[in-house]
Amino acid sequence: MKQTLSIIKIGGNVIESKEELSKFLTLFANLKGLKILVHGGGKLATQLAKKLGIEAKMIDGRRITDAENLEVITMTYAGLTNKNIVVQLQANNCNAIGMSGADGNAILAHKRPVTEVDYGFAGDVDTVNSELISKLIKADLIPVFCAMTHDGKGQLLNTNADTIAAELAVGMSEHYKTTLYYCFEKKGVLMDIKNEDSVVQYINKEKYEELRKDGVIADGMLPKLDNCFYALNKSVSKVCIGHSTMLTSKDELFTTITL
C-alpha cells in the first residue's frame, strides 16, 4: 500500500505577510506525514521590480517574463522567499531543503510557445523527476519548491506555482497516494466574496461549470480550478482549497474538488 504524500501550495496574503507566513510555517512543520511545500511570490517580485526601476508587465493577470523580470523573479522566488521559508522551517525543527526545478533536474519544462501573447520566459512543465524527489523524502528532507523550472539547456523559466504543485502531485502519484492542498487567505471557494463563511464545500465538473457561468468562479480562481481537475484526472487522490487551518482542523470549512 502506498504511503500518503501531501503537496501543499501557499500563496496570496499568507506568503506576503510575515505574521501569517510564520503561523503557517509553524503549522506546516508540525504537520504529520510526508509532505512537500510549494510557494509563489508574485507580488513580492513586483515590489522588488519597482524598487529596481523595472516594469512588471501583466496581461489578464498573467506575468510577462522578459529577461529583466526573470532576473527579479529568480532573486525573489529561488533566493529571498525560498531561503526565508527554509530557514524558518529549520527553526521549527523541520529539515527543509530549498528547491527550484533546476536543482537535481527536478522539474523540466519548455518555454511557452508564442501565440497571441508572448509570455517571455514562462515555462510549461514536461516532466517531474519523481525518483530524485522520492530519495529526498526518504532521506527525511522536506522539499520546498519555488515557482521556477528549467529547460535542460541552461534556461531558467518562470512557472505558475499552482501548476508546479499540480504537476508534483501527479508526478509523485507513481510512488505515493498524493493529496494536493491549495492554501490561501480565504476558507475556500466562496459563493459571496464578502461572506467568509459562504464556502462551496464540494465542486465537481458540473458544479464548476455552473459557478463559472454565474461568475462565482472567475479571474485567478479559473486556472487554479483547471489545475485541480487536471490533477484529479491524472491519479491524484484528493484536492482541497482553503485556509491553511484545513490541514489540521476537521471542523474547518474548505472546498474539496471532485470529478
CA 5 to chain centre: 15
Tell me how far apart the 2 most distant CA atoms of the chain are, in Å.
Answer: 53
The Cα–Cα gap between 192 and 207 comes to 16
Strand-pair partners of 7 = 36, 180
User: Residue 91 belongs to what H/E stretch?
Assistant: helix 82-91
Check which CATH number belongs to the domain holding 191 and give it: 3.40.1160.10
* Other Cβ atoms within 10 Å of 131 Cβ, number: 11
Q: Can you give the pLDDT at residue 162? A: 94
Q: Can you give the pLDDT at residue 136? A: 98
Strand-pair partners of 59 = 62
Cell of 78: 529561488
Q: Can you give the pLDDT at residue 152? A: 97
| Helix pair 161-172, 221-233: axis angle to 10 deg | 10
**How many structural domains does the chain have?**
1
Strand-pair partners of 35 = 6
Question: Which parts of 92-213 fold into alpha helices (H)?
Answer: 130-138, 161-172, 205-213
| Per-residue pLDDT in tens (0 to 9) along the chain, 259 residues | 899 999 999 987 888 889 999 999 999 999 999 999 999 988 889 999 999 999 888 886 678 999 999 999 999 999 999 999 999 999 999 999 999 999 999 999 999 999 889 999 999 999 999 999 999 999 999 999 999 999 999 999 999 999 999 999 999 999 999 999 999 888 999 999 889 899 999 999 999 999 999 988 887 788 889 999 999 999 999 999 999 999 987 778 999 999 8
Radius of gyration of the chain (CA): 17
Comparing CA positions, the residue from 12, 123, 115 lying closest to residue 65 is 123
Tell me which residue range forms the domain holding 14: 4-257
Alpha carbon of 26 to those of 29, 89, 94, 248: distances in Å? 5, 7, 9, 12
* Other Cβ atoms within 10 Å of 167 Cβ, number: 27
* Helices H / strands E in the chain, number of each: 9, 14
Comparing CA positions, the residue from 177, 195, 188 lying closest to residue 255 is 188
Asked if 184 contacts 21 with a C-beta cutoff of 8 angstroms, the reply is no
User: Residue 150 belongs to what H/E stretch?
Assistant: strand 148-150
The three-state secondary structure class of 236 is: coil
Q: Can you give the pLDDT at residue 250? A: 75
Q: Where are the beta strands (DSSP E) in 2-119?
A: 4-10, 34-39, 57-59, 62-64, 96-99, 107-111
